[in-house]
Amino acid sequence: MVAYRPGSNSVFPDKEWMAINTFPGTATGSRLLVTFSLFSNINSNGAPIMRVYSDDRGATWSSPAAISTETTLQGSQPLYLPNGNCVVVYWNFGSSQQSERLEAVISTNGGQSFGSPIFITSAVEYNEPSIRTGSFLPSAAADRTTQNIYVVYQTLLGGNPRIAFTRSTNGGSNWTAPVAISDNPAGSGVFNPAINVSPDGGTITCVFYDHRNNPGSHVLVDLYLAQSFDFGNTWQPNVRLTSVSTDASLAPLTANGYMLGDYLGLAQTTRPTVPAVPIWVDTRTGNPDPFITRAGIAPYSDLVTAWEAARESLVQVPTTSLHAQSPDADRDGEDNQSEFASGTGANNPASVIRTGKELDLSTRLHVETGQHVGIAGFIINGSASKKVIVRALGPTLAQFGVSGVLQDPVLDLYDSSKSLVASNDNWKSSQQTEIQASGYAPGDNREAAIIQTLAPGNYSAVVHGVSSTVGAALLEVHDLDQAGASLITNISTRGPVGTDANVMIGGFIVGGGLGANGDGSSKVLVRALGPELTSFGIADALQDPEMDLFDGNGNLIASNDNWKALQQTAIQATGLAPADEREPAILTTLIQGNWTAIVRGKNNTTGVGLIEVYRIQ
């Protein structure tokens, strides 16, 4: 099929790019749109950018039309947004009155007509001295959730070659100031960036050619990667993807240098733990050949990326059951991370090793009075009693930089009938020898601790300040009988959720597994409740909690605002779905180690919240 045929030999269409409207609820859903530069001859720089579109899967095409009245353009990147708008980003070479710049035009009718050009940023064209590059070819991407648009391009910033990034959060009407996302040394060339973005917009990936591994050479290059996990607000350090540098002098020589191609390709990750797939030209075979790899800086941990890269193929991506938070790519009923942690082979669920007995709680919160004291709940499940230690720390937190600590915490332990089981103010006043022997003695004499052997059931530990004092405290529950027949299957903390340093921080520990070297995993559900606390008499419950889950190294592994937005089916299957859809929940599989859930109010709202961790498997 032919989308456009020139009417004469005096024009030359080039730099074509296609966009498909994959949003079926919009007026022009399924439309194919192609933009291209219409050169008057091969050697001209700028040209008008034309568009054609098809509404019958390419069988017939519209007449060509220019997206702008200007004729000094090149490098068009058309995109469809979730609202059906079509945005085209391009390079404008300018004139004697105007400098070179990036611009965008917006169509509200799916590409039939476009509005006036929108200025994105001024740009300084950067060309490699020995390699033909796409110096005036920006790369653009849009996610499937927001109206965000993300653009990268090669340029000079501060006189040095850089890959620059800019973003629009309102469908292309306004743009952020460009920032460098390549951390190449000064004077080292970078070129031909390609960008793509995950469906939710949270993970942005950019790949580009880079000279940094071969100082002084203008023909030896490597492929590098930059990633952001927060919509482009911050970027991770660049990572070299190629193990062998490409010698561009093995590629065809043109009037503008050796030709590795004007573009790179990039298939984007579906979420942070799944690698992106770049395609580039590499000469390690002696010829300029296309290469691909799976790559990413997964914030979750290397094991997840490695395992999913090996197990999940691109054809499986559209299948939700295979790319949920804990995907089961080989369809054996066990999630990938459990299999990785257990060292099992594919399709062998019997060999998956679950964790041992330990599930400990450590939550930092701002303890106040009345309904705003700190309350930790935990459930002992099984046929035998379990020995635990409960601690309430305050003064010790000051040495970790926490200000406004609770100076003298008091700890009360209750059973499910609300009967007081034990109480403590200063831990040395009773059980001093036993507490010291446990290895969990508090660092300050004013802090409270209770060791108790408890029958299976529900328990609550309440921390408050002596004489109604307030401040930051740490409330902990530790399992002292990990080999016992019973398990701590649920841990939770209720308390006030403030802002900044006074958000609720719920730490928990997943114990060693039953395999060699402590290998194993636990499937857990982490919830943050707020609105439903109102039905239990909490007058100022947190109305819209948000939750982030971090590993022991401080890496973000999952985030959620409203639980139905992700994993709805899987969470409902646990029987523990929150009662209010504004409440977040994360279902995931965790290996041995420390994990932290942080709860805050959306838009810095405050109120009483409840954070819970359930052992599902």
User: Please, which pLDDT band fits residue 139 given cuts at 50, 70 and 90?
Assistant: very high
User: Contact at 8 Å (CB) between 501 and 586?
Assistant: no
Residue 39 φ then ψ, to 5°: -75, 145
User: Please, which pLDDT band fits residue 570 given cuts at 50, 70 and 90?
Assistant: confident
**Per-residue model confidence (pLDDT) at position 346:** 46
The more confident residue out of 349 and 573 is 573
- Percent of the chain past pLDDT 90, that is, above it, reads 45
- Percent of the chain past pLDDT 70, that is, above it, reads 84
User: Please, which pLDDT band fits residue 17 given cuts at 50, 70 and 90?
Assistant: very high
User: Please, which pLDDT band fits residue 40 given cuts at 50, 70 and 90?
Assistant: confident
Residue 427 φ then ψ, to 5°: -65, -25
Is-above-0.75 flag for pTM?
A: no
**Residue the block writes with tokens 């990667």:** 225
For residue 511, give the H/E element and its range. Answer: none
**Per-residue model confidence (pLDDT) at position 137:** 95
**C-alpha to C-alpha distance for 173 and 193, rounded to whole angstroms:** 23
**Any idea which of 1-10, 117-126, 485-494 has the lowest mean pLDDT?**
485-494
Q: Is residue 554 scored above 80 in pLDDT?
A: no
Q: What's the rounded mean pLDDT across residues 42-55? A: 82
**Per-residue model confidence (pLDDT) at position 445:** 93
**Per-residue model confidence (pLDDT) at position 314:** 32
**Any idea which of 11-15, 81-85, 146-150, 205-209 has the lowest mean pLDDT?**
11-15
**Per-residue model confidence (pLDDT) at position 487:** 74
Q: Is residue 617 scored above 70 in pLDDT?
A: no
Distances (CA, A) of 270 to 100, 132, 205, 492, 588: 35, 32, 11, 31, 17
**Residues whose CB is less than 8 angstroms from the CB of residue 210 and which lie 6 or more positions away in sequence, other chains included:** 182, 184, 188, 189, 190, 221, 222, 223, 224, 238, 240
**Per-residue model confidence (pLDDT) at position 319:** 39
**Any idea which of 90-99, 111-120, 412-421 has the lowest mean pLDDT?**
90-99
Domains identified in the chain and CATH numbers: 1-122 (2.120.10.10), 132-297 (2.120.10.10), 314-351 (no CATH), 359-615 (2.60.120.380)
**Per-residue model confidence (pLDDT) at position 100:** 92
Q: Is residue 297 scored above 70 in pLDDT?
A: no
**Residues whose CB is less than 8 angstroms from the CB of residue 63 and which lie 6 or more positions away in sequence, other chains included:** 52
**Per-residue model confidence (pLDDT) at position 317:** 33
The more confident residue out of 226 and 354 is 226
- Burial of 269 per CB tally in 10 Å (0-12, 13-18, 19+): buried
Q: How far apart are the first and last CA of the chain?
A: 54
pLDDT digits (tens, 9 = 90+) for 318-366: 333 333 334 454 455 555 555 555 555 444 555 554 554 456 667 777 8
**Per-residue model confidence (pLDDT) at position 491:** 75
